[in-house]
Structure 1
C-alpha cells in the first residue's frame, strides 16, 4: 500500500460498531526520514575527502598509490567493526548505537580537518570508520522492528538512499564549505560539529520498538505487530532466539547476500572514492564542475533507489512472490550497471560520461533493497548481526577497491582498466542477486 493509499484508506469500525477506530499514526515513516537524513550526513562526511582530494593530494604531495591507501583507511576499520557492532545492536538496541556513532564520527571528522600530513589524516579516517560502523546495521535492525513486511522494500531503500544523496549533496556542500570557510580544513571541522548535533536529535526521536515511542498510537503498533506475528507463524517459530553468526555460514543465501553486497560496493565505493579524481584527471573538470557533476551522478542514484523500493513494494502488494520481484529487479539492475560501465570506457565526451555514470548509479542503487534481506533471513532478533556480516563483506570491497584502483591507475596511467574492474564487481553482484532466496527465513 502506498503512503497516499494508506492515508485515504477507509477507517475500520470500532469493535462495538460505533465510531471508526482511530486512524493509525505514521511515526515509522517519520523515523525513516530521519534515518535518511542521518545516512545522508554519514556519506557527506565519509565522501568529503574524495571531493577535496585534488587539493589535499597537492598539499600533502601524494602519489596515486598513497591516495588509494588514504581512501581505503576508512574502510579498514569500518569493515572490521561490522560484525561486533551488529552484535552490540542486537544486544543493546539500535538507539544507543546510533547516538554513540553520531557523536564519535562527528569528532573524528573534525579531527581530520586538523591533520598535518598523510599519517594523521590516515588515523583520523580510520577513526571515522570505527565510529560510523553501526549506522547501516542499526538501520537494518530498525527496518525489521518498525516496518510491516509489505513496507520493508521502501524502508530499506529510504535508509540506503542516504548514500547516493549524501555523495551528491555532499559534493556541493563540501565544495561550497571549502570556498566559504577558506579551505578544506575548516569545512571538515564544521561538518563534524553538525554531526555531533545530529546525534542529540537521534537520541530524542529514535526508539528501539514502536510501543516505546510516545507518538505511536495503538493502531500503528498493532499494524506492525500483526505483521511480525504473521512472519513468525510462517517461519514456524514462537518468538526468536538470539543467534551467533556461525550457524548461518552453511547457507547459500547467506553467502549470496554477502557477495552481492561486496559486488555492489565494489562499484559504488569505487565511484565514490575515485569518481571525483577521474572527472578531474580524465575529463579535465575543475573543482566546481566536479561538485555539480558528482551531484548529478549520485543524485540519479538517490532517485533510482527510492523508485526501486517503491516498485518492489507495489509488485509485492499485487501478489507477486519475493523471489520473482527481487531477482527480476536486481537482475535487470546488474545487466544495466555492467553495460553502462563498459560504455564509459569507450566514450570520450565528458558529458556523455556523466550521463552514463548517472544511468549506472540510478540502477545500481536498486540493490539497496538488500537492507531488507537480513530481516528476511534472520528475523527481527538477528537482523543486526546479519546486517553487520553483510556490511562487512561489502566493505571488504570498500578497502580493497580504492587501493586496487590506485595501483591500476598508477600502473596504466589511465582509468580504462579501473572501470573494467568495476564491471567485474557488477558481474559478481548479478550472479549473487539471482542466487539468493528472498522468500524464507534460514532454519538455524
Structure 2
C-alpha cells in the first residue's frame, strides 16, 4: 500500500512538473492590470477636477462671480492637494500605497458628490479644498507602486500610463460634464453624477490594485521572479541601500537633481493646469464657442495629449531597450516637450480662427504630455525607501503651479481683458521645462553624504 501511494505521488509530481514550466515561462501580467486600473483612477481624478472648469460659465452666471473670484475658486482644489503631497508621500513609503490610493478614491467621490449641493461660493471653495485633500494620495502612491511593480525599463510606459489619465480625464471632462448637465439638470447634476461615477470606479479598482508581487495571489512565480531579478539588478550597485535611513530630506534639498526635477515639474504644470482651468473659458470668450462646442474642443485637445503621452512613454522604453542611454533618451524627449509646446502656445497669440487655435493647442498638448515621463524620475534618482516622499515633493512643487496659475491668469484677464500675457507666460515656462530637464542626471541616485 505504501509503495502504491509512493507511485501515485511520483506520478502526480511528474504531472505537475510537466505542467508548471509552461506556466512559469509565461509570466502573468498583473503589474500591467494594476497600471491600467491606475489609469482609470487618474482619469476619473481629472474628470473630477475638470468638471468645475467646464461648467464654470454656467456656475459663474448662476452665482454671479467675477473673473478674480473664478480664479480663486479654480485654484482652491490645489490648496489642500498640494499641501498634502509630502506627508502623503511619506505615508506611502511606510505603509500600503495600494490601500491608500483606493481608499482616497472613495473619499474624493463622496466629496465631489457633496459639492453638487452647495449654494454659495464659500462652500464651493471649502469642498474643493476637501476634494484636493482626498485626491492627494494618487500620484505619490502611484510613484511608489512603480518601484514595486515595474522594472526600470518599463517605467516609461508605467509613468505615462499613470499620468496620461490627466489628459484623458481632462479630455473626457468636457463631454462628460455636458452630458451630465443635460441629463441631470445643470451644473449641480454634473458634479453629483461625476461623484457617483468616481465611487463606482473606486470599487472596480479596489478589486485589482492589491498588495505587492510577493503577496498578490494573482501573480504567478514567473512574474514574481522576473520582477525580483530586475529589482536586484537595478539596486545591486546602489550603495545607498545599506544606509537608506541615513538619507534624509536635507540630502535631497542639497541635490541639483531634486531641484531641477521640482522646477521642471512646476513648469510643466503651470502650462497644463493653466490650460485645464482657463482653457474652456479662453475658447468660449475669445473664439465665441458655445459650451457644447467647447466640450468637443477640449475632448480633441486633451485627447491628443493622451496619445502624445503614451507615445512618449513607448518611445522612451523602446529606445532604452535598443541600447539608448538613459540621459540621452530623457533629455531628448523632455527638451523637445518644452520647446515645441512653448512654440505652439506662442503662435496661439496670432490665432485668427477657432480651427487654428484648436489645432495649435492639439500640437502643444501632444508634445507637452511627453513630460509625463517626469513620473519615472523619483524612482530613478532616489533611494527605494524614499520614492514616495520624493514623488510627493515633486508633486507638491507641481501643484503649487495649480494654486498660483489660475489666480495669476484670472488677475491678468481681469486687469487686461485679454489672454495674451497669460499665453506668453505659458511659453516662457515651456522654455524653463526644457532647461530644467537638461540639468537632471537620470543615472545618479541622491546619496546620503
The normalised TM-score by structure 2 is 0.93
The residue that corresponds to 1:167 in the other structure is 170
How far apart, CA to CA, are the structure 2 residues paired with 1:262 and 1:171? Answer: 25
Say whether residues 1:347 and 2:351 are aligned partners.
yes
The residue that corresponds to 1:3 in the other structure is none
How far apart, CA to CA, are the structure 1 residues paired with 2:86 and 2:211? Answer: 19
The residue that corresponds to 2:73 in the other structure is 70
The within-5 A match list for 1:10-409 is: 21-238=24-241, 241-242=244-245, 243-409=247-413
Identify the range of structure 1 (419-428 vs 64-73) with the bigger mean alpha-carbon deviation. Answer: 419-428
Contact 2:77 2:128 (8 Å CA) reproduced: yes
Change (3 A) 1:238 1:118: closer
SS at match of 2:214: helix
The residue that corresponds to 1:11 in the other structure is none
Alpha-carbon RMSD across the aligned residues, in angstroms, is 1.6
CA-CA distance at 1:103 after TM superposition: 1.5
Runs ≥4 residues deviating over 6 A: none
How far apart, CA to CA, are the structure 1 residues paired with 2:421 and 2:299? Answer: 24
How far apart, CA to CA, are the structure 1 residues paired with 2:383 and 2:319? Answer: 22
CA-CA distance at 1:15 after TM superposition: 11
Q: What are the Cα deviations for residues 363-388 of structure 1, in whole angstroms up to 9, with x where unaligned?
A: 00000001111011113321100000
Change (3 A) 1:19 1:247: closer
Contact 2:348 2:360 (8 Å CA) reproduced: yes
Q: What are the Cα deviations for residues 287-339 of structure 1, in whole angstroms up to 9, with x where unaligned?
A: 10000000000000000000000000011011111100000111111110110
CA-CA distance at 1:238 after TM superposition: 4.9
Contact 2:83 2:396 (8 Å CA) reproduced: yes
CA-CA distance at 1:190 after TM superposition: 1.8
Change (3 A) 1:219 1:72: same
How far apart, CA to CA, are the structure 2 residues paired with 1:240 and 1:395? Answer: 31
SS at match of 1:440: coil
Contact 1:113 1:186 (8 Å CA) reproduced: yes
CA-CA distance at 1:427 after TM superposition: 1.7
Identify the range of structure 1 (176-185 vs 186-195) with the bigger mean alpha-carbon deviation. Answer: 186-195
How far apart, CA to CA, are the structure 2 residues paired with 1:239 and 1:171? Answer: 49
How far apart, CA to CA, are the structure 1 residues paired with 2:397 and 2:424? Answer: 21
CA-CA distance at 1:19 after TM superposition: 5.4
How far apart, CA to CA, are the structure 1 residues paired with 2:153 and 2:99? Answer: 27
Q: Which of 424, 429, 441 is the matching residue for 2:428?
A: 424
The residue that corresponds to 1:442 in the other structure is 446
How far apart, CA to CA, are the structure 2 residues paired with 1:266 and 1:238? Answer: 35
Gaps of 5+ in 1: 1-13
How far apart, CA to CA, are the structure 1 residues paired with 2:310 and 2:92? Answer: 26
Identify the range of structure 1 (242-251 vs 347-356) with the bigger mean alpha-carbon deviation. Answer: 242-251
How far apart, CA to CA, are the structure 2 residues paired with 1:277 and 1:301? Answer: 19
How far apart, CA to CA, are the structure 2 residues paired with 1:63 and 1:111? Answer: 24
Gaps of 5+ in 2: 1-15
How far apart, CA to CA, are the structure 1 residues paired with 2:435 and 2:79? Answer: 26
How far apart, CA to CA, are the structure 2 residues paired with 1:246 and 1:265? Answer: 25
Identify the range of structure 1 (250-259 vs 227-236) with the bigger mean alpha-carbon deviation. Answer: 227-236
Q: What are the Cα deviations for residues 198-248 of structure 1, in whole angstroms up to 9, with x where unaligned?
A: 333333321241121111111111111111111111223556735543321
